[in-house]
Amino acid sequence: MTGDSPQRDGTPGLRPDRPAAASDQPARPGLHSLTAGRGMLFGGDYNPEQWPEEVWVEDVALMRAAHVNLVTVGVFSWARIEPEPGTRDFGWLDRVLDLLHDGGIAVDLATPTASPPPWLGHRWPETLPVDESGHRLYYGARNQWCPSSPIYRERALALVTDLADRYADHPALAMWHVGNEYGQVCHCDDTAAAFRGWLRERYGDLATLNEAWGTTFWSQHYGQWDEILTPRRAPYLRNPTQMLDFQRFCSDALLAHYRAERDILRRRTPSVPVTTNFMGFFKPVDYWAWAPHEDVVANDWYPFPGDPRSPVRAALTHDLMRGLAGGGPWMLLEQATDGVNWQKHNLPKPAGQFRLESLQAVARGADGLCYFQWRASRFGAERYHAAMVPHAGADTRLHTRVREHGAELRRLAPLVGQPVPARVALVHDWQSWWACESDGRPSDRLLVTDQLLRFYEPLWRRGVTVDLVPPGAELSGYRLVVVPNLFLLSDATAESLTSYVRDGGVLLVGPFSGVADPLGHIHTGRFPAPLREVLGASGEAWLPVADDPPLRCRWIADAEQRGDADAPAGTVPDPSPTGVEFTATIWSELMRAESARPVATFLDGDLAGAPAVLRNEFGTGRAWYLATVPQEAAMVALTDRVLADAAVTGVLPDLPDGVEAVRRGDTLFLLNHGAGPARVTLTEPAGELLTGDRVEGALTLAPRDVVVLKPLA
Ligand code: GAL
Ligand code: ZN
């Protein structure tokens, strides 16, 4: 995700609006309608409005040579189509679509509503967004629209209607792309009025709202609806429930706009799928609430070349997309062939890097691999952003690699639609994320996405595939459920986790979970109140950890736990292979074991002797609780013990460091993210899909290489 728009660090969201039951709705077309007959989708954002028409002809020829079969057109073309209010200039777009169609290239046609022309903000300044300080943001960049502006809405929908009418029957039209990377936040008066409407629906009356927001605190009582504002900039910490509700509202308001455009498109073209591009773990928008409204789940993914954790973040993000797609295929709609332009120091990608990233997405369920953008812009704010055709043209190393990648993707057509099986679920919730990271909390170092990564990374290293699921998801098919952080926990979710363990599941819960109710009010009594029974443990204080002196912990040996040094090994494997002690960082909790047994205890300070890791036998399952943030090696050791409890193993034993292993259908992907060659021993002979070679025994992967192995019958 880029850092260009103010809304990216904004707020917002809403509870999943469940999709209508299959019986009252005709089935929606999905990604299959695009991949059928085309195989893996390959292409990029195409912005022909930036180029003279001669270049379009060359573009189509080059696209064909590179095996491009899908391009996204028109994302930023509002001013080109409607140069003055109410006019329409579709002629150029007709020619672009005809040319692409003649070249056999399908079109993901965008509604150009992400960037209104200057005339909209000039004539109707109230359509421009206002930041939390009350400052208006102007045109001259992009995204300058207010999600609650009736004028913006009217103008956008009128254009979408005409676009849909114009191209409904165009043979190039394969998918609709609504807007771009939704994330706008506004604090204007229209938004305040819409927020009040949303609150009236949620709470009914002011007394209920006052109670929900806890307005007896700091004299915040509201006597009239009109007094309520969006959480604008204020002298000191703002009301956390007001902030949380505003985050919910913002995600909802954007979704309402997306749905309004989508409904117009669906009415006119019921068999054409509709999508918009997500941005991975993008905080302001609750993608669990959005996903049921998408026909195709699509993501934009821009890893930082200098970040050693990029491959793990990528895997986690791709697994989220697969989860949002209900386990089905999804597509990568934007990525970069090389450096981007929106970081301070834009590192390039070494040879093989974009291919490795692209194939990683395929391994984790993507059926489409597209880039931003096809041809590098000569002008405008993104003229230094990498593309599939660089400024230097097609006779370049980069474009040659693009072509080669397009060609090899054709060999992966048999994988289209194949599932990615997982026995482990990782729970993530946007609402809890918003609530957990409110201002004025015990530590701003305990971040939800960091926690997700800390729990995910050891599983990734072991080649254990993980599904990302929302709270309340059906868990019975999983052997292990991991909850890195669910600060905000409803009774229903607590009950679903509890019965999952009662019925034999293995659960691993991270710290600062089960703390608050859906209003963000803290549960009183020993914590985590809603999970106390299943965890067999309870706590009384959250204690952020100083950097120095270190807070040490110690694994407790099996035999020691049973108080019987001679007994045979039990179900808990031996203590950490990495050593008996480990260091706790960032966070600790004063816990007490009830029916649970301590698996590790704190050694230092006030916490000396208190449990740091606990394990509880409950029903026919087991629940683990982690009352701190252990350093990395201890997370690996803990994960190994929990995996052993759940009888889950990776797709390949003994994976070398940096090698990612994941199975899609029956095909095994091995991806070497490491800096050196890696030797991997296979368990069965296989055919390599990209080269056609037969491989058996051990093989060596060069850095950034990928092998795709189909077992030989
Ligand atoms: C995306 C955006 C594209 C382009 C790209 C650059 O966030 O959707 O339009 O700006 O970033 O990396
Ligand atoms: Zn506004």
- Nearest one of 340, 318, 339, 341 to 330, comparing CA atoms: 318
CA 269 to chain centre: 29
Mean pLDDT on 418-428? 98
Residue 577 corresponds to which tokens in the numbers above?
């292979």
pLDDT of residue 286: 98
Residue pLDDT, tens place only, 453-467: 999 999 999 999 999
pLDDT of residue 572: 42
With the C-alpha atoms ordered 366, 370, 371, 372, is the resulting torsion angle positive or negative? negative
Q: Which ligand is located closest to the Cα atom of residue 184?
A: 2
Q: Which ligand is located closest to the Cα atom of residue 136?
A: 2
- Separation of alpha carbons 450 and 447, rounded Å: 5
pLDDT of residue 559: 57
Q: Tokens 């939800």 belong to which residue?
A: 448
- Separation of alpha carbons 97 and 46, rounded Å: 11
pLDDT of residue 557: 76
Task: Give ligand 1 pocket residues (Cβ under 6 A).
Answer: 1-2, 180-181, 300, 302, 334, 340, 372, 382, 385
Mean pLDDT on 391-412? 98
What is the CB neighbour count within 10 angstroms for residue 90? 15
In the annotated binding site for substrate, the residues are: 142, 180, 342
CA 457 to chain centre: 16
Cβ contact 640:574 at 8 Å:
no
Residue 686 corresponds to which tokens in the numbers above?
């296989």
Ligand 1 pocket: which of 372, 374, 375, 384 to mutate (most atoms <8 Å of CB)? 372
Q: Which atom of ligand 1 is nearest to the CA of 181?
A: 8
Distance 668 CA to ligand 1 centre (A): 32
Q: Which atom of ligand 1 is nearest to the CA of 75?
A: 9
| Residue identifier of the C-alpha nearest atom 5 of ligand 1 | 372
pLDDT of residue 2: 38
Confidence of residue 14 (pLDDT cuts 50, 70, 90): very low
Mean pLDDT on 568-582? 53
Q: Is residue 381 pLDDT above 50, yes or no?
A: yes
Residue pLDDT, tens place only, 481-490: 999 999 999 9
Residue pLDDT, tens place only, 237-269: 999 999 999 999 999 999 999 999 999 999 999
Distance 334 CA to ligand 2 centre (A): 28
- Separation of alpha carbons 529 and 676, rounded Å: 48
CA 636 to chain centre: 23
pLDDT of residue 580: 85
| Residue identifier of the C-alpha nearest atom 3 of ligand 1 | 372
Helix intervals (H) in 390-547: 397-409, 430-436, 448-461, 491-502, 532-535
| Residue identifier of the C-alpha nearest atom 4 of ligand 1 | 372
Distance 388 CA to ligand 1 centre (A): 14
Residue 519 corresponds to which tokens in the numbers above?
């209003």
Query: Phi and psi for 710 in degrees, rounded to 5?
Result: -105, 125
Mean pLDDT on 334-338? 98
Ligand 1 pocket: which of 45, 47, 181, 385 to mutate (most atoms <8 Å of CB)? 181
Q: Which residues of 339-370 are buried (b: 16+ CB within 10 A; e: fewer)?
A: bbbeeeebeebeeebbbbbbbbbbbbbbbbbb
Residue pLDDT, tens place only, 308-326: 999 999 999 999 999 999 9
Confidence of residue 23 (pLDDT cuts 50, 70, 90): low
- Separation of alpha carbons 402 and 389, rounded Å: 8
Averaged pLDDT score across all residues of the chain: 94
Residue pLDDT, tens place only, 185-238: 999 999 999 999 999 999 999 999 999 999 999 999 999 999 999 999 999 999
Please give the angle made by the CA atoms of 428, 433 and 435, to the nearest 5 degrees: 140
Of the residues 181, 294, 357, 408, only one is catalytic, namely 181
Q: Is residue 638 pLDDT above 80, yes or no?
A: yes
In the annotated binding site, the residues are: 142, 146, 180, 186, 188, 342
pLDDT of residue 562: 57
Q: Is residue 713 pLDDT above 90, yes or no?
A: no
- Nearest one of 69, 34, 309, 279 to 179, comparing CA atoms: 279
Confidence of residue 560 (pLDDT cuts 50, 70, 90): low
Mean pLDDT on 411-425? 98
Ligand 1 pocket: which of 2, 4, 343 to mutate (most atoms <8 Å of CB)? 2
- Separation of alpha carbons 191 and 168, rounded Å: 33
pLDDT of residue 215: 98
Ligand 1 pocket: which of 182, 334, 373 to mutate (most atoms <8 Å of CB)? 334
Share of residues in the chain with pLDDT > 70 (%): 93
DSSP state of 597: E
Please give the angle made by the CA atoms of 522, 528 and 530, to the nearest 5 degrees: 90
Distance 135 CA to ligand 1 centre (A): 25
pLDDT of residue 374: 98
Q: Which atom of ligand 1 is nearest to the CA of 277?
A: 8
Cβ contact 22:350 at 8 Å:
no
- Separation of alpha carbons 664 and 412, rounded Å: 11
Q: Which CATH architecture has domain 8-116+146-184+242-415?
A: Alpha-Beta Barrel (3.20)
Residue 205 corresponds to which tokens in the numbers above?
């009356």
Cβ contact 260:157 at 8 Å:
yes
Alpha-carbon radius of gyration of the chain? 26
**In this structure, which CATH number among 3.90.190.20, 3.30.420.10, 2.40.50.140, 2.60.40.1180 belongs to the domain 659-711?**
2.60.40.1180
Q: Which ligand is located closest to the Cα atom of residue 257?
A: 2
Distance 3 CA to ligand 2 centre (A): 21
Q: Which ligand is located closest to the Cα atom of residue 110?
A: 1
- Nearest one of 246, 214, 248 to 429, comparing CA atoms: 248
pTM for the structure as a whole = 0.95
Does the structural domain 424-646 have CATH classification 3.40.50.880? yes
Domain locations in the chain?
8-116+146-184+242-415, 424-646, 659-711
Confidence of residue 558 (pLDDT cuts 50, 70, 90): low
Q: Is residue 578 pLDDT above 50, yes or no?
A: no
Of the residues 82, 132, 294, 334, only one is catalytic, namely 334
The verdict on whether 688 is a catalytic residue reads no
pLDDT of residue 563: 56
Contacts of 36 by beta carbon, 8 Å cutoff, 6+ apart: none
Q: Which atom of ligand 1 is nearest to the CA of 76?
A: 9
pLDDT of residue 179: 98
Q: Which atom of ligand 1 is nearest to the CA of 1?
A: 7
Share of residues in the chain with pLDDT > 90 (%): 92
Distance 154 CA to ligand 2 centre (A): 14
With the C-alpha atoms ordered 199, 204, 206, 212, is the resulting torsion angle positive or negative? negative
Cβ contact 698:680 at 8 Å:
yes
DSSP assignment of 459-496, as one string? Answer: HHHTT--EEEE-TT---TT-SEEEES--SB--HHHHHH
Distance 514 CA to ligand 1 centre (A): 37
- Nearest one of 354, 352, 362 to 409, comparing CA atoms: 362
Kindly report each contact of residues 680-687 with a partner whose C-beta sits within 8 Å and lies 24 or more positions away, as own/partner: 680/652, 680/655, 680/656, 681/654, 682/652, 682/709, 683/652, 683/653, 684/711, 684/712, 685/711, 685/712, 686/710, 686/711, 686/712, 687/712
Helix, strand, coil % in the chain, rounded to nearest 5: 35, 20, 45
